[in-house]
Amino acid sequence: MPKAPTKRRPNIISKDRQTHAKPARKVKAEARSKPTSADAAKSTTRKSAERPTAAKPARTPVRKKQRGPGRAPEPAAGQNDPMRIAKAIARAGLCSRREAERWIAEGRVRLNGKLLNSPAVTVTSLDKIVVDGNPLPDAEPVRLWRYHKPKGLVTTHRDPEGRPTVFDSLPPELPRVVSIGRLDFNTEGLLLLTNDGALARHLELPSTGWLRRYRARAHGRVTQADLDKLKDGVEIEGVRYGPVEATLDSTQGANVWLTLGLREGKNREVRKILSSLSLDVNRLIRVSYGPFQLLDLAPGTTEPVKRRVLADQLGAKLTEELGLAAPDPDRVGRGHKPEGKAAKPKGQSE
């Protein structure tokens, strides 16, 4: 009986097989001829490319998270983010958010053809909003103006007594704006105006830390020591007023000139505080509001604040929320002055 042939065994110590064990049929075929050094190199390269990479799945989510923020600043980003309908109406420059809520309660607003009776509705740019039968205009870019309020105007859109208002006296080319805080009928000086209700509310809050500075002429006598006591605040008729920085500048006949700085905006606050010191204010001028100054802005005139200046003062978070990274509508091109205005008086800054 002939002897059975002996099966050839694969070379288990072959250099290109020490790390990867392949099925027997492939090993058997490769064992029939001694591989050359070039073949060995090709085989090693090919098999290395076929090796599973266990670490890659773990790294993939990390790379995606890193790329995510890079896509956020795209021009269309955030356009369809939901917001309350009153905010959307205010952003269009028609009114303040509070007024928009009142309009809804009065039945003046429709959403996608349906009459609304509650402001507790969120919308996106895909929704159709109609106010008083007119489609809502596109939202205007957030803007801020400095205005020199003259004496003898009330800071309201409508006055029950029929007195002239700030908003009746504004230049006709201005869009609908709201004031950031108010100035009394007989108070003059810097009043900030904006077309965005959210910005107005933010800048009115004492938490912004912005100092409102006034120059006051008052009848009577006072010492610096008396004024220094205001640094701890004062309570008048049950109302607590915050710290006040007060300086006695000069004496002029029966009057004194003072400079005061405070961070609140209570009704007639400066007049009441000085009255508690037996001083009768006969002229009051607001000369600055936070970083923005009156300087030599003429009474009754307005001047836009550059968007980049406003963005610098608001900080990155609020700037992004308000969309202030968009091009400045008050700049026609690099190096140009704001539209419709001559060069600023020497030394003026915003």
Domain edge (last residue) among 284, 303, 322: 303
Q: Find where tokens 């490319």 sit.
A: 49
CATH number at residue 217: 3.30.2350.10
Residues 126 and 261 in one domain: no
Residues 223 and 296 in one domain: yes
Q: Would you say residue 33 lies in a domain?
A: no
pLDDT value at 26 more than 50: no
Q: How far apart are CA 253 and CA 131, in angstroms?
A: 57
pLDDT value at 281 more than 60: yes
**Which of these, 262, 235, 267, lies nearest to 246 by C-alpha position?**
262
Query: What pLDDT digit, counting tens, does each position of 42-90 carry?
Result: 555 454 445 555 555 444 444 433 333 323 233 334 445 788 999 888 8
CATH number at residue 113: 3.10.290.10
Say which residue, 99 or 226, is predicted with more confidence: 226
Say which residue, 29 or 94, is predicted with more confidence: 94
pLDDT averaged over every residue in the chain: 78
Residues 91 and 209 in one domain: no
Q: How far apart are CA 99 and CA 132, in angstroms?
A: 14
Residues 228 and 189 in one domain: yes
pLDDT value at 117 more than 80: yes
Q: Which domain holds residue 232?
A: 144-303
- Return the percentage of the chain with pLDDT > 70, whole number: 70
Confidence of residue 326 (pLDDT cuts 50, 70, 90): low
pLDDT score recorded for residue 11: 43
Confidence of residue 130 (pLDDT cuts 50, 70, 90): very high
Q: Would you say residue 17 lies in a domain?
A: no
pLDDT score recorded for residue 77: 41
Domain edge (last residue) among 267, 285, 303: 303
Confidence of residue 134 (pLDDT cuts 50, 70, 90): very high
pLDDT score recorded for residue 36: 53
pLDDT score recorded for residue 101: 93
Residues 163 and 287 in one domain: yes
Query: What pLDDT digit, counting tens, does each position of 167-185 carry?
Result: 999 999 898 899 999 999 9
pLDDT score recorded for residue 269: 95
Residues 124 and 205 in one domain: no
Distances (CA, A) of 109 to 13, 130, 132, 141, 230: 84, 6, 6, 23, 48
pLDDT value at 213 more than 50: yes
Confidence of residue 8 (pLDDT cuts 50, 70, 90): low
pLDDT score recorded for residue 106: 94
pLDDT score recorded for residue 209: 83
Q: Would you say residue 330 lies in a domain?
A: no
pLDDT score recorded for residue 94: 78
Q: Find where tokens 């958010």 sit.
A: 97
Q: Would you say residue 273 lies in a domain?
A: yes
pLDDT score recorded for residue 51: 53
Residues 195 and 283 in one domain: yes
Domain count, the chain: 2
Residues 116 and 157 in one domain: no
Residues 95 and 208 in one domain: no
Query: What pLDDT digit, counting tens, does each position of 240-265 carry?
Result: 999 999 999 999 999 999 999 999 88
Residues 123 and 266 in one domain: no
Q: Would you say residue 19 lies in a domain?
A: no
Q: Would you say residue 2 lies in a domain?
A: no
Say which residue, 349 or 220, is predicted with more confidence: 220
pLDDT score recorded for residue 277: 96
Q: Would you say residue 152 lies in a domain?
A: yes
Q: Would you say residue 277 lies in a domain?
A: yes
Distances (CA, A) of 80 to 21, 122, 123, 196: 56, 11, 8, 19
Residues 203 and 128 in one domain: no
Active site residues: 184
Residues 110 and 232 in one domain: no
- What is the SS3 assignment for the chain? CCCCCCCCCCCCCCHHHCCCCCCHHHHHHHCCCCCCHHHHHHHHHHHHHCCCCCCHHHHHHHHHHHHHHHHCCCCCCCCCCCEEHHHHHHHCCCCCHHHHHHHHHCCCEEECCEECCCCCCEECCCCCEEECCEECCCCCCCCEEEEEECCCCECCCCCCCCCCECCCCCCCCCCCCEECCCCCCCEEEEEEEECCHHHHHHHHCHHHCCCEEEEEEEECCCCHHHHHHHHHCEEECCEEECCCEEEEEEEECCEEEEEEEECCCCCCHHHHHHHCCCCEEEEEEEEEECCEECCCCCCCCEEECCHHHHHHHHCHHHHHHHCCCCCCCCCCCCCCCCCCCCCCCCCCCC
pLDDT score recorded for residue 104: 95
